[in-house]
Amino acid sequence: MKILGKFQPEATPAGNESPTEAAPSSAAAPEVKPELKLMGGSGYKGAHETEADVHARVDFEMALRRLQGNHVLFKELSFKGCQLTRRPDWMAQLCEALTVNDTVTALDLSDSGLNDGALQQLAIALCVPSRCPKLRKLNLSGNAGLSVAGETMAQGLCRLRKDFEVVIGPGFDHTAATFGCDKQLVENLSAWPCDTLKVPNGGPQDFLCPSQIAGEGVQLELKRGFQGTNGTKYTCDLAEFSLGHNTGNMVLVKLKNREKVGVEV
């Protein structure tokens, strides 16, 4: 009977390490960065988004969530300093949230980069009093992009909504009986009742250029032009007008020579 020696495992040749005992690799594994989502379902953060873009986005989305929350404790909401025209969809989201909110009473949109186009979206959203019914005050101050056309839209809102106040800046009166466009000449907004422009002893289609354009005491007769579906064209050396068939108003279409017009435009 032979006595067997103690079992010795066979040595593994160098360079043939067992898969379970493989030497750790010196090369570091690539770092996997998690994808960062935007709040509010606005999309994904792109590589093109700057630090300023991120701050602006976060400010807007935090304010928007408070508005969307429609919470009774959030009666006064502020988008002050949020650049609402930085992205084209931000005003649309704000307007959509406003139409279904029934708790907010005051909305601060001051210093938010609003222009006439953005205010037009807002005016359309709020022109029906049943939308955001408790809203009583709208602060639009500090928005240099708002012109006299924007003031006119704001005044229109005040007439459509009961006990509604809009703040824009010095010189703006939301209770004024006249619109902002009446203070200045605004193409496609300034208008005159045609009866006030009739030529003395003239025919029913003879009209004078408004004194705000021709000058006080100056009688400059308009030339009748093409008659279209919506109105008849009238012109002179200073301006072009359209006489509306439905309204009976002479609407300023274009100022031809601003230097000769004696009012602010």
| Nearest one of 125, 79, 69 to 102, comparing CA atoms | 69
Q: Please say whether the beta carbons of 190 and 181 come within 8 A.
A: yes
State the pLDDT at residue 260.
47
Residue 10 belongs to a domain: no
228 is in which domain, residue-wise?
191-260
Residue 19 belongs to a domain: no
Tokens 């000058």 label which residue? 215
Q: pLDDT, tens digit, for every residue of 16-26?
A: 544 444 445 54
**Domain closes at, from 159, 182, 205:** 182
Q: pLDDT, tens digit, for every residue of 31-80?
A: 544 444 444 444 445 558 899 999 999 999 999 999 999 998 999 999 99
Residue 33 belongs to a domain: no
State the pLDDT at residue 189.
75
Across the range 195-222, mean pLDDT stands at 90
229 and 200 within one domain = yes
Domain with residue 92: its CATH number is 3.80.10.10
| Residue 170 pLDDT class (50, 70, 90 cuts) | confident
C-alpha 107/C-alpha 27 separation (Å) is 57
**Percent of the chain, pLDDT > 90?**
46
